[in-house]
Amino acid sequence: MNKISAAHLQVGSAGVVEKQFHTFAEPPHELTLESGARLGPITIAYETWGQLSEKRDNVIMVMHAFSGDSHAAGFYEEDGVEAKPGWWDSMIGPGKGLDTDTYFVICANILGGCMGSTGPSSVNPATGSPYGLDFPMMTIGDIIETQKALLEHLGISTLHAVIGGSVGGMQVLEWCVRYPEMIRSAIPLATTMRHSALAIAFNEVARQAIMADPRWNRGNYYGAEPPDLGLAVARMIGHVTYLSDEAMRRKFGRRLQNKTNVSYGFDVDFMVESYLRYQGSKFVKRFDANSLLYITKASDYFDLVERQAPARSIQDICGEATKFLVISYSSDWLYPTYQAKELVQALKRANLDVSFCEIEADCGHDAFLIPDARLGKLVGGFLDGVPRN
Amino acid sequence: MNKISAAHLQVGSAGVVEKQFHTFAEPPHELTLESGARLGPITIAYETWGQLSEKRDNVIMVMHAFSGDSHAAGFYEEDGVEAKPGWWDSMIGPGKGLDTDTYFVICANILGGCMGSTGPSSVNPATGSPYGLDFPMMTIGDIIETQKALLEHLGISTLHAVIGGSVGGMQVLEWCVRYPEMIRSAIPLATTMRHSALAIAFNEVARQAIMADPRWNRGNYYGAEPPDLGLAVARMIGHVTYLSDEAMRRKFGRRLQNKTNVSYGFDVDFMVESYLRYQGSKFVKRFDANSLLYITKASDYFDLVERQAPARSIQDICGEATKFLVISYSSDWLYPTYQAKELVQALKRANLDVSFCEIEADCGHDAFLIPDARLGKLVGGFLDGVPRN
């Protein structure tokens, strides 16, 4: 602790956190995935904040978005003065929207990811080498099953709330469809109940950018040079969709990067070009290209309206006790407000208790990740109103 | 003619057309580009429809968008039964919006292109090899100078109208800023007076996709395998931006491609994926990757508001006689209506005669290319009202 400055403590008020791991589905008890494929053993990396109550009834599960991880708040002690708080530090901590004085908050890295949970970069026990494309395709439903296994391991059978944005919001909804009796309340943010053609299109272009990189080598690049150039392009595509026209006008406009005139060449001229190249090059240091392929595909498959039986659809949670708070952002064009309203209508048709809020923000889809006191107040107030039993 | 079916004649009513060429700026009289670089000789490929009047006062210049060419209408006789009409065949022909019974219509392939005009794939006379990245960076203004040279060659000093969409619309505006005394009327469609950060961002990602392809080889791939994978990804990015959320919902939704269930793999599942892959693979057969780099950069540089002196800006056409019809499309999010309105305001502040129309269409930026009787009537009516002298 003495290596952490006061400023870090102020921000990372959720405190020091350690990544933990739970391994299950050991052969011959592998998990059967939605596709029918079997997978095991499975390790899920997770972190927790706050104290689990004696009745184990104060649990909030936070689900991360596509490129997130279990490190949602606080800091790692080993990072010392370099410590950066988790990705939703503004929301998790004493007195924050997810108040760790009251709640026990859990965040797990998703199945298929590359931040400690089993994914395509993990070692396939059948071969002793990383799975690569031998990793079975997983769905948002499969992610939920691994999170449920983690909760069983922790002895938790009720969730005060499930909350998450974007792909995390899909997980929130899938939780409610699969295990409504476990869920007191659900807060899907900046998300959709079915992935649109536009969202599929952007994901497909990102996948093609990776697959076009010869270093991708059909997913078999572990131990060799990874497909960084393709992955960087994929990330740049993502970043354009996370912002909005307004945000980009405000943030970058047509301002030049360290220049008084254009270069008449292909080096960076505009700030927005520099921003995208930087985001691309930063991402390749921390993310696995195959994980991007699997997670985007799982999102594309996500559709709570039209499901192949026996999977449950959104109307199958009709009349359950789960209370919903649906949140959208006014400038999010990846999962626009009209899709949040479609979700609200579907939940109302299923006789569920739904509140809806569109937050005015010009920063596009990314808005849910940007510290904003309005979100903390909205979520905190909603959670206070959810009965504890 | 006997090889062309009745159906083709019906569509290609502008008739048989032949690509023509004009070469100028022969050394030592090279054209000095906006960057200061010199380029010559320059060949411009063009096509014409209708008859030039004796007074040479019935000329309409059509400017094509980034991946277009001079073949705007009619058909090539040598294509026989395979003949496909030009890209704006619905607008050019007897009785159409640009009525070839009245007007002499010209369309030229732009400088930097790859459809007959000089561009990075042309032979550099200094080396005897294709230019590649030795081709000097050109601007929308440079494109206009080459079109003006073509008009001088044809003995034309007045244009009844300049018309074009997207990058073609930028050329329309640049014409008006550079040579307002030559232009009776101008119809910019689905365009902007300054490229936005969002539009630059998409262009930059497309460029990075090409440059990430090892076959691009810093632009030096002529005579070798071209960077088709990178170019295909770049085109896919473009196609997502040319459509709209609504159009994609209507056209594709979540429909599967020849399947009853998803594949749980990385082959095509959804129709929208198949559409994008098809568009990418089709494009690489007809377009040069370096041309994409140069033309997107020229678009990104386009800014009629803040110009480096001595270049003229939009207020410098103050009080000229040119009549404007500005057209936007309701679902175009690449060059949204608010940008068309900014253009209208700027033109009005310059005391110019401006009409504005936003056409309701759910098909996004591509709308200006899609046959639509409303556009023909609107443009035809506007042109009738423009005095011939």
Q: B137 CA to chain A: closest CA distance, Å?
A: 5
Which pLDDT belongs to residue A3?
45
pLDDT in tens, B250-260: 999 999 998 78
Which pLDDT belongs to residue B7?
38
B355: closest CA among B331, B385, B335? B385
Over 60: is that where the pLDDT of B4 sits? no
Q: What's the rounded Cα separation, in Å, for the pair A186 and A176?
A: 7
Q: What's the rounded Cα separation, in Å, for the pair A34 and B361?
A: 40
Task: Answer whether A245 sits within 8 Å of B336, measured CB to CB.
Answer: yes
| pLDDT band, residue A309 (cuts 50/70/90) | confident
Q: Which residues of A touch B37 (CB under 8 A)?
A: 264
Q: What's the rounded Cα separation, in Å, for the pair A227 and A219?
A: 9
Over 90: is that where the pLDDT of A12 sits? no
Q: Choose among A196, A212, A248: nearest Cβ to B249.
A: A196
B239 is catalytic: no
Which pLDDT belongs to residue B10?
59
A212-239: average pLDDT: 98
Q: Which residues of A touch B280 (CB under 8 A)?
A: 208
Task: Answer whether A205 sits within 8 Å of B297, measured CB to CB.
Answer: no
Task: Answer whether B236 sits within 8 Å of A205, measured CB to CB.
Answer: yes
Catalytic hit among B166, B244, B291, B328: B166
DSSP secondary structure code for residue A216 in this structure = G
pLDDT in tens, B283-319: 999 999 999 999 999 999 999 998 877 889 998 999 8
pLDDT in tens, B365-381: 999 999 999 999 999 99
Residue B41 and residue B26 in contact, taking contact as beta carbons nearer than 8 Å = yes
| pLDDT band, residue B31 (cuts 50/70/90) | very high
A345-351: average pLDDT: 96
Over 80: is that where the pLDDT of A4 sits? no
Q: Say what angle helices A289-301 and A228-242 make with each other, to 10 degrees.
A: 40
A362-385: average pLDDT: 95
Q: Which two tokens stand for residue A277?
A: 């190249």
Beta sheet of A59-63, edge-to-edge order: A20-24, A42-49, A104-108, A59-63, A161-165, A185-189, A323-329, A353-359
Over 80: is that where the pLDDT of B2 sits? no
Over 50: is that where the pLDDT of B229 sits? yes
Q: B209 CA to chain A: closest CA distance, Å?
A: 6
Q: In percent, how much of chain A has pLDDT > 70?
A: 97
Q: What's the rounded Cα separation, in Å, for the pair A20 and B75?
A: 68
Q: Which residues of A touch B195 (CB under 8 A)?
A: 254
Over 90: is that where the pLDDT of A28 sits? yes
Residue A193 and residue A343 in contact, taking contact as beta carbons nearer than 8 Å = yes
Q: What's chain A's average pLDDT?
A: 95
Which pLDDT belongs to residue A2?
38
Which pLDDT belongs to residue A10?
59
Which pLDDT belongs to residue B211?
98
Q: Which residues of A touch B365 (CB under 8 A)?
A: none
| pLDDT band, residue A307 (cuts 50/70/90) | confident
Which pLDDT belongs to residue A11?
79
A133 Cα distance to chain centroid = 22
Task: Answer whether A232 sits within 8 Å of B208, measured CB to CB.
Answer: yes
Task: Write the CA distances from B199 to A245, A247, B293, integer angstroms.
Answer: 9, 13, 14
Task: Answer whether B303 sits within 8 Å of A251, measured CB to CB.
Answer: no
Domains and CATH numbers, chain A: 6-195+305-384 (3.40.50.1820), 210-291 (1.10.1740.110)
A258 or A30: which carries more pLDDT confidence?
A: A30
The pairing of strands B59-63 and B161-165 is parallel
Task: Answer whether A197 sits within 8 Å of B249, measured CB to CB.
Answer: yes
Chain B contact probe: residue of A264, A267, A338, A342 with most B CBs at under 10 A: A264
| pLDDT band, residue A7 (cuts 50/70/90) | very low
Which pLDDT belongs to residue A308?
77
A144: closest CA among A99, A195, A180, A185? A180
DSSP secondary structure code for residue A33 in this structure = P
Q: A199 CA to chain B: closest CA distance, Å?
A: 9
Taking CA–CA distances from B290, the nearest residue in chain A reads A266
DSSP secondary structure code for residue A184 in this structure = S
Over 50: is that where the pLDDT of B3 sits? no
A127-153: average pLDDT: 98
Q: What's the rounded Cα separation, in Å, for the pair A66 and A69?
A: 9
B70 is catalytic: no
* Residue A370 one-letter amino acid: I
pLDDT in tens, B39-92: 999 999 999 999 999 999 999 999 999 999 999 999 999 988 888 899 999 999
B311 or B149: which carries more pLDDT confidence?
A: B149
Task: Answer whether B200 sits within 8 Å of A254, measured CB to CB.
Answer: yes
A332 is catalytic: yes
Over 60: is that where the pLDDT of B9 sits? no
Q: What's the rounded Cα separation, in Å, for the pair B164 and B189?
A: 6
Q: Which residues of A touch B266 (CB under 8 A)?
A: 133, 207, 211, 293, 297
Q: What's the rounded Cα separation, in Å, for the pair A58 and B158?
A: 78
Q: Choose among A253, A261, A293: nearest Cβ to B197.
A: A253
Q: A124 CA to chain B: closest CA distance, Å?
A: 18
Q: A307 CA to chain B: closest CA distance, Å?
A: 10
